[in-house]
Structure 1
Amino acid sequence: MDAVQLLTRMVEIKSVSENEREVAEYLVEYMSENGLEAHIDDAGNAVGIKSGKITAEEQVEDLVLLGHMDTVPGDIPVRQEGDLLFGRGSVDAKGPLATFVAATIQAQIAENRRVIVVGAVEEEISTSKGAHYAKDQYSPVACVIGEPSNWDAITLGYKGQFLVKYRLEQEVGHTAGANSAVGEKAVIWWQKIQEHCESFNEERNKLFDQLLPTLRHIQTSSDGLTEVAEVIVGIRLPLDVDIPQLKNTVCNFDEHAEIDCYSHEEAYKSDKNNGLVRAFLKSIRQQNARPRFKTKTGTSDMNSVGPKWQCPIVAYGPGDSTLDHTPNEHISISEYLRAIEVLKSVLEDSGTLQQKKCK
């Protein structure tokens, strides 16, 4: 089976978060048949390992390619139209994960290097179960996160985030009365968050450096005696925000409500002066392109493993990230094949990815 068939089959297998077993079994079988040592780990991740010639065990460099198998919900008929493959997960992020698998199979891995491909579970939900498990299993010298960056670009950083649940309950009052309804109070609380973020963002021109709030859910209900407002807000975080102070501020905007800040992930940005980045730049230039650097306003498994591993880390993969989670999600087959060639050259590059192992 060629690389296009691999990706097509992966996209055909539905794998909404917490339901990744079928695609994990398929990947393990595929990797095993193509020369990798493969298994499903205790978290449900699909893992495949391939080594170059080992001349000295103490000199072995582990390179982790950490992608994810799960997708958001949404049934998009899988089909190929010309150069484009449509289907849920084609961009986010089965395209990048298939790139990892195909490149590792095709590559002559550099001497004293071990490549560990991980197809993680639950990246699309707040648990990030697969990445949190993987971060305690490996101590790599470098890591590549499987997320769409376009084939000629690498991503150096992702914003952080936390989610906030707001719940306000009070006795029902007459609409002509002096007391505001719970819905009005919830809206005022949300507006205060927006105002705070706007103030923080003054003179910060880059989205990566700003606080970015989103209203994810709001509803009111009543049983005739009491009324309830429930809200969920997400706030995307820059590198330099004081998170405890921000949480305290958000909670104090309405002292009468129950407010819970949860699912906290700090922003993370990697340095670009290292062997991993140089290998990618060299490989992209060999494909007659000018490499680009990106930072993203979303989050990824980089936020989960980067702080623990403290090693060179980038995100890479084919695909246009603006198509993530959309009804029109699709990936260019030709771009996917070029990404495989880029990553294959990185895996074969004999240069040291880092002089010392990660923490």
Structure 2
Amino acid sequence: MPQPAPADVDLLHRLVAIESRSGQEHDAVAELCREMTARGFAAAPDAAGSAVGVIGTGATKIVLLGHIDTVPGRIAVRIEDGVLHGRGAVDAKGPLCAFVCAAQAAIAAGANATITVVGAAGEEAIGSVGANAVAAWPAPDLCIIGEPSGWDALCLGYRGTLSLFYRLRRPARHSAGPGESVAEEAIAFWNALRAELDVRNQGAAGSFQRIGHALRAFNTGGDGLHDHATLSIGLRLPPGLDVEAVLIRLHDLAGDATITVDGCQEGYRSAKQSPLVPPFLRAIRAAGGAPRFTLKLGTSDMTVVGPVWRCPIVAYGPGDAALDHTPDERIVLADYARAIRVLTDVLVAS
């Protein structure tokens, strides 16, 4: 079973050990910049608070876009039986550290490329501030997004996201009086929204093409004069969806309640004919794997830079995405080693 170099394990262990919730990435960014500088990168934080390192001067411009922030929740950082446990080990410091290690190895092996590694800030927060700053750069020749696809899998697409609030305000009423409470009216809206999505999802070719929905929070209250209800809602958007038409329909269903959009990012999907696909397939097979393709039901920074750059783009990285955001987040170090090898081969071949 392959094992990563001690220095590569140490990098991952140190970075996972530094808490870096969205908006609190500074210490982790500083550490990653120090590490990249020590490995021969020109590295510094950018204006958005992301870590950016450049190595090589070759003709092919490649951006390896990972993210350094994590969701909340501290997990004791430790290595047991070849497995590193800790918040961010999978999502997505494992893929990010694999980017750094592979970029250094590829340039040392003679890759004719200029490779930029980004540890973006704010990917887990609405607005993805780091990736939106990067999207303003000139388009590279190739881009790989650092997310846990599994070392032997290549992710070709992600659904987008629509985050919104439903707010209803009514004159205060006695609970024994006639009519519906604001809570009941809000529930009726939620049920109508779900029924609308069921209609729109009819005939969808699999879960990736369906509009997903989640009721994130439901709050009611009042001040004695008025009662209010607030729903926080998240929708997952398949590529190609007419988002404006969906929003118009949501406003219709809401009646005199207000709908406020908190963030919107449309879905994005690459084709299997992408020039990045063949080198990944060869590299995964060379490392002993049987390559496979995935489409993710969540979202990532692919949906931010993909529509802007329109360059060949895929997502790749070690780790089991089912462990994202869970108390059991962990990464198998042998898979981390395999991913570094695969990425190195891809970068040399590109």
- With the shorter chain as reference, the TM-score category is over 0.9
Aligned equivalent of 2:322: 322
User: CA RMSD for the aligned pairs?
Assistant: 1.3
Does residue 182 in structure 1 map to residue 187 in structure 2?
A: no
Divergent runs of 4+, >6 A: none
Report the alpha carbon displacement of residue 288 of structure 1 after superposing the two structures with TM.
2.0
Correspondences of 1:278-297 after superposition (within 5 Å): 278-297=278-297
Partner of residue 46, structure 2: 41
Question: Mapping of 1:180-219 within 5 angstroms?
Answer: 180-219=180-219
Higher mean Cα deviation, 259-268 or 309-318? 259-268
Could you tell me how far apart the structure 2 residues matched to 1:138 and 1:272 are? 24
- 2:91 counterpart of 1:92: yes
CA distance in 1, matches of 2:204, 2:134: 35
Amino acid at match of 1:344: T
Partner of 2:257: 257
Q: CA deviation at 1:309?
A: 0.5
Matches of 1:22 and 1:109 in 2, distance apart? 31
Whole-angstrom distance in 1 between the partners of 2:265 and 2:153? 24
Cα deviation for residue 241 of structure 1 reads: 1.9
8 Å contact kept, 1:266–1:303? yes
Q: 1:225: Cα distance to partner? A: 2.2
**How far apart are 1:27 and its partner, in Å?**
0.8
Letter in structure 1 aligned against 2:263: S
Asked whether 1:233 is paired with 2:233, we answer yes
1:139 maps to which residue? 139
- Count of residue pairs the alignment pairs up: 344
Amino acid at match of 2:40: G
The aligned amino acid for 2:277 is V
Shift of 1:111: 4.7
Please say if 1:266 is aligned against 2:266: yes
Matched, 1:120 2:120: yes
Is the CA contact (8 Å cut-off) linking 2:112 and 2:348 kept in structure 1?
no
Select between 100-109 and 154-163 the one with higher mean Cα deviation: 100-109
**Partners in 2 of 1:267 and 1:129 — Cα distance?**
17
In the other structure, the counterpart of 2:80 is 81
Does 2:161 match 1:161? yes
- Structure 2 counterpart of 1:144, which letter? I
Which residue is equivalent to 1:57? none
Q: Do the aligned partners of 2:54 and 2:117 also contact (CA within 8 Å) in 1?
A: yes
| Secondary structure, counterpart of 1:253 in structure 2 | helix
- Give distance in 1, aligned partners of 2:196 and 2:274: 37
Q: CA deviation at 1:262?
A: 3.1
Q: Is the 8 A contact 2:111 2:347 kept in 1?
A: no
Structure 2 letter corresponding to 1:171: P
1:19 aligns with 2:30: no
Shift of the alpha carbon at 1:255? 1.4
Separation in 1, partners of 2:205, 2:139: 36
Tell me how far 1:256 sits from its aligned partner: 1.5
Q: Which residue of 1 aligns with 2:3?
A: none
What SS does the corresponding residue of 1:275 show, helix, strand or coil?
A: coil
**Any conservation in 1 of the 2:274–2:313 contact (CA below 8 Å)?**
no
Which segment drifts farther, 114-123 or 135-144? 135-144
SS at match of 1:2: helix
Moved more, 212-221 or 195-204: 195-204
**Aligned residues of 1:86 and 1:330 also touching (Cα < 8 A):** yes
Is this contact kept in 2: 1:50–1:109, CA < 8 A? no
State how far apart, in whole Å, the 2-side matches of 1:231 and 1:304 are: 26
* CA distance, structure 2, for counterparts of residue 302 and residue 110 of structure 1: 28
Cα distance in 2 for partners of 1:48, 1:102 equals: 12
Instruction: Spell out, residue by residue over 1:259-316, the C-alpha distance to the aligned partner (whole angstroms, 9 max, x if none).
Output: 1123110110012213211111110011121111111011100000001100110000
Q: Deviations over 1:194-234 (max 9, x none)?
A: 00111111222411000111101101012222111011111
Q: Distance in 2 between matches of 1:111 and 1:225?
A: 69
**In 1, Cα distance between equivalents of 2:110 and 2:136:** 25
Q: Distance in 1 between matches of 2:182 and 2:226?
A: 10
Q: Within 2, Cα distance between the matches of 1:47 and 1:254? A: 44
Give the SS at the match of 2:49.
coil
Deviations 1:16-61 (A, max 9, x none): 0011111111111111111111111111111111115x4xxxxx21
* Aligned-partner residue type, residue 281 of structure 1: L
Provide TM-score, normalisation by structure 2.
0.95
TM-score by length of 1: 0.93
Amino acid at match of 1:331: I
8 Å CA contact 2:15–2:93 kept in 1: the answer is yes
For residue 109 of structure 1, report the CA deviation from its aligned partner. Answer: 5.5
